[in-house]
Each structure stands twice: as structure tokens, then as C-alpha cells.
């Protein structure tokens, strides 16, 4: 992720959400349809279950974000952890719907909105607190998706950042690129 200097909390948060969304998508693209549904053991979630849970959370948290509780009465959180879509296309459509709820809620906000009060499960949060809560929650789950995808792909894994044993070369190229731009 190339850092774009900003002092806007909202812009930075949106950049982080997009980064983690892209990271998880690039990881999911590397696994087979069967691996999207695979679990490591009976207590683990599959990538598909994590996606279903995230989409349910996003729909609940970001729909009518400023005007209704972030835990919608029709949300069935427990159901998010069973029977995910088996088709990749349906799973990715669910994923996109969740992210669309988030971006539709956050993109129109102003920096002044950060001080507004919203509720999640009846508990008051500033908008900034709510955004922080979800950045942490979604990055956690995106990390799980990456971990599972990397586990399933083993030696075929294509690094999503700086590949192992290539840090020095990566740093050299970045520094050289910055020096040539001056």
C-alpha cells in the first residue's frame, strides 16, 4: 500500500478499508473454490464463513449508520457462521454488498461527523470510535483470510507484500525510485 499523506481521518480510514478489502480479495483469488469452504479443524471458520460474517456485520453496522443502532434487529449473527454460499460468484457478491454498505455510509461523511454519536448494541460511540472498531474488526478477519489462503496454497503462494528474503532488494528499489523523483 503506497502511503498517501493525509491529515483526514476519514480519508485515511477509507484507504485502510480499501487496502484490507483488496488484500483479502487477492488472497481469495489464489485459492480454489473448495479451499474457500475448507476448515483446518472443527473450531475454525472457513474463508467463506468469514466472508459471510463480515458481510452480515457490514450490513448491520453501516446501513442507516448515523440514524439507527449498528446491531440491526433482523441480524442473525449466529447464522453468519453456518452454511455460507458454496459458489464463488455468490460469495463474492455477498462480500461486495457488505463493502458497498460501508463505503456508502462513510464516503459522504465530513470530518465534523466524526464527533456525532451513534449506537452499537445500545452503547454510545462517536463516529470515530465506531470507525476504529470496524477497521480493527475487518483487518483482523482479512488477516484470517490471508492466513488460510496462504496455508492452503503452500509453495504456490504469491506474496501480497514484500516476499520473504527480498526486503533488501525491495527497499533498494523504493529508495532508488524516490531518489529519481527528486
pLDDT tens, 73-117?
A: 999 999 999 999 999 999 999 999 999 999 999 999 999 999 999
pLDDT of residue 179: 42
Q: Is residue 137 part of a domain?
A: yes
Q: Is residue 3 part of a domain?
A: no
Q: Is residue 62 part of a domain?
A: yes
12: Cβ–Cβ under 8 A, 6 or more apart, which residues?
6
Q: Is residue 4 part of a domain?
A: no
Q: CB of 103 within 8 A of CB of 109?
A: no
What average pLDDT does the segment 9-18 reach?
Answer: 96
Q: Is residue 44 part of a domain?
A: yes
Q: How far apart are CA 130 and CA 54, in angstroms?
A: 15
Residue whose C-alpha is closest to residue 95's, from 182, 4, 17:
17
Q: Is residue 25 part of a domain?
A: yes
Q: Is residue 120 part of a domain?
A: yes
* pLDDT tens for each residue of 131-169: 999 999 999 999 999 999 999 999 999 999 877 777 777
Q: In a 3-state reduction of DSSP, which class is residue 169?
A: helix
* pLDDT tens for each residue of 20-30: 999 999 999 99
Q: How far apart are CA 129 and CA 142, in angstroms?
A: 20
What average pLDDT does the segment 2-15 reach?
Answer: 85
Query: Which domain range does residue 117 map to?
Result: 9-181
On the CB side of 131, how many CA atoms lie within 13 Å of its CA? 25
What is the residue-wise DSSP string for 2-45?
-------HHHHHHHHHHHHHHHHHHHHTTS-HHHHH--SSTTPP
What confidence tier does 175 reach under pLDDT thresholds 50, 70, 90?
confident
Q: Is residue 2 part of a domain?
A: no
Total structural domains within the chain: 1
* pLDDT tens for each residue of 45-78: 999 999 999 999 999 999 999 999 999 999 999 9
The enclosing domain of 127 has a CATH number of 1.20.120.450
Based on its alpha-carbon atoms, the radius of gyration of the chain, rounded to whole angstroms, reads 18
What is the residue-wise DSSP string for 38-92?
--SSTTPPPHHHHHHHHHHHHHHHHTTTTTS-SS-TT--GGGGGS---SSHHHHH
Amino acid at each position: 500500500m503506497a502511503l498517501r499523506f493525509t491529515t483526514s481521518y476519514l480519508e485515511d480510514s477509507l484507504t485502510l478499508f480499501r487496502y484490507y478489502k483488496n488484500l483479502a480479495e487477492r488472497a481469495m483469488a489464489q485459492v480454489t473454490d473448495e479451499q474457500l469452504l475448507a476448515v483446518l479443524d472443527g473450531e475454525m471458520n472457513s474463508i467463506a464463513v468469514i466472508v459471510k460474517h463480515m458481510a452480515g456485520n457490514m450490513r448491520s453496522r453501516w446501513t442507516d449508520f448515523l440514524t439507527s443502532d449498528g446491531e440491526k434487529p433482523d441480524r442473525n449473527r449466529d447464522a453468519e457462521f453456518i452454511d455460507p454460499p458454496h459458489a464463488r460468484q455468490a460469495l463474492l457478491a455477498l462480500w461486495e454488498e457488505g463493502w458497498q454498505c460501508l463505503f456508502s455510509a462513510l464516503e459522504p461523511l465530513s470530518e465534523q461527523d466524526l464527533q456525532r454519536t451513534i449506537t452499537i448494541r445500545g452503547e454510545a460511540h462517536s463516529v470515530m470510535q465506531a470507525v476504529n472498531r470496524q477497521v480493527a474488526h475487518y483487518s483482523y478477519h482479512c488477516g484470517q483470510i490471508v492466513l488460510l489462503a496462504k496455508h492452503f496454497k503452500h509453495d504456490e503462494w504469491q506474496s501480497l507484500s514484500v516476499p520473504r528474503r527480498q526486503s533488501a532488494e525491495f527497499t533498494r528499489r523504493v529508495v532508488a525510485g524516490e531518489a529519481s523523483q527528486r
